[in-house]
Amino acid sequence: MTIRKLSGFFGGLLLAFGLLTGCHEPNQPAPTGEQKPAEQKAAAIGAPAEGGPQVLSAYQPESNVSELKTCNLEGVNGTSFQGQKVPVSSAKSARFLGWIAAPELASPRYVLRFEDKAASRYFQATFVPAVNRPDVAASLGDKVAHAGFTLDLDLKPIPPADYHVYLAALDGTALQACDNGRSVIVGP
């Protein structure tokens, strides 16, 4: 009689375990209105839209540039900028991340710029900061709480070279450059 009780207990335990693990199957669709953990993480870091990475466009450098100190271009493809040139392959998209805030500008347009002054090549991509950055808000105020960004770029169209990369804010004819001394080596 003891064996029957134990087998019944273990059978019920196995059934309960099977039902519970079935509820947490990672390939099951999330219930309506909920996100899977991977989707939550992607949304939290400002994942790119379904359209894919942006393509850089050429620009001509301006002569009247003022300094902006409220930014940080933090890294590319998971590598932090730490004084060295970071190699990036043009074979796949590159993800840049950081933050920028220009609260004194009425309607700023933000850009990430690539400069190869030796060959007179200048490229940029426009973006909208929208990632929550409590660290920035704690330092600069709640008005800039969403100053963070991630930006996926298609680097195939630009020539391989060493590029100085920096952030800028434009408002009409005013340009404020925020330069942390970052450089990338774009190669194949």
Q: Say what the pLDDT of residue 115 is.
A: 97
Q: Say what the pLDDT of residue 34 is.
A: 34
CATH of 51-187, one of 3.90.700.10, 2.60.40.10, 3.90.740.10, 3.20.20.70: 2.60.40.10
Tokens of 99: 């933050």
pLDDT tens column, 96-150 = 999 999 988 999 999 999 999 999 999 999 999 999 999 999 999 999 999 999 9
The span from the CA of 137 to the CA of 121, in Å, is 35
The span from the CA of 43 to the CA of 163, in Å, is 29
DSSP 3-state of 139: helix
Please list the ranges in the chain whose pLDDT falls under 70.
1-51
Domain boundaries, the chain: 51-187
